């Protein structure tokens, strides 16, 4: 059980890759909180996970990832009920297949709010707790590339107090 008692938050965790990640983390002993676009989606996913892993700690939240204040409230719930976040998986995302000439500003804003601002907000909220307790590592993944940093230290390039993190591709194990 490589993740025993680690607290993991997975955005976009109610289905697809996020749900599969939650299952894998639970198999490895993590306490898992999934963040979904609606509380009902989060609750349904939590029910499925609890049925499969009845002894595990599983929860669900539904913050608006585009709002730092809302994300902080969600992560406060995580801290109060599960502990400080050890692992953050920024899996939530949307895309548009609309032809560029028909792409609206509203559609662009929706994509950027979730895919960019949501990643920033969730990572910032998780890092605030980690920095306070001088947590050693986390892996914040978005899409196919993972970025590894903690407490202002980017483990890919070894820069300290990088603001924002350098976001180079993770070289592998960052638990050193």
List of E strands, the chain: 7-11, 31-35, 58-61, 87-90, 139-142, 145-150, 153-154
What CATH number does the domain containing 116 carry? Answer: 3.40.50.720
Per residue in 115-165, pLDDT tens?
999 999 999 999 888 887 765 555 555 543 334 433 344 444 444 444 444
Structure tokens at 60: 């669900």
Is the pLDDT score of 110 beyond 60? yes
Number of domains, the chain: 1
Q: Note whether residue 167 is domain-resident.
A: no
- Whether 64 maps to a domain, the answer reads yes
Distance CA 32, CA 145 (A): 21
pTM higher than the cut 0.95: no
- Mean pLDDT, the chain, rounded, equals 82
């Amino acid at each position: 059980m490589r993740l025993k008692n680690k607290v993991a938050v997975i955005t976009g965790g109610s289905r697809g890759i996020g749900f599969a990640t939650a299952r894998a983390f639970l198999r490895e002993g993590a306490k898992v909180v999934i963040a979904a676009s609606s509380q009902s989606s989060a609750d349904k996913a939590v029910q499925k996970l609890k049925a499969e892993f009845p002894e595990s700690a599983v929860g669900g939240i539904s913050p608006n990832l585009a709002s730092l204040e809302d994300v902080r409230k969600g992560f406060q719930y995580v801290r109060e009920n599960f502990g400080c976040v050890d692992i953050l998986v920024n899996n939530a995302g949307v895309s548009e297949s609309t032809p560029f000439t028909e792409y609206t500003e509203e559609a662009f804003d929706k994509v950027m709010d979730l895919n960019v601002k949501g990643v920033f907000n969730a990572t910032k909220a998780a890092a605030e707790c980690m920095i306070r307790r001088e947590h050693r590592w986390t892996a914040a993944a978005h899409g196919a590339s993972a970025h590894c940093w903690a407490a202002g230290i980017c483990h890919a390039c070894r820069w300290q107090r990088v603001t924002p993190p350098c976001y180079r591709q993770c070289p592998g194990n960052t638990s050193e």
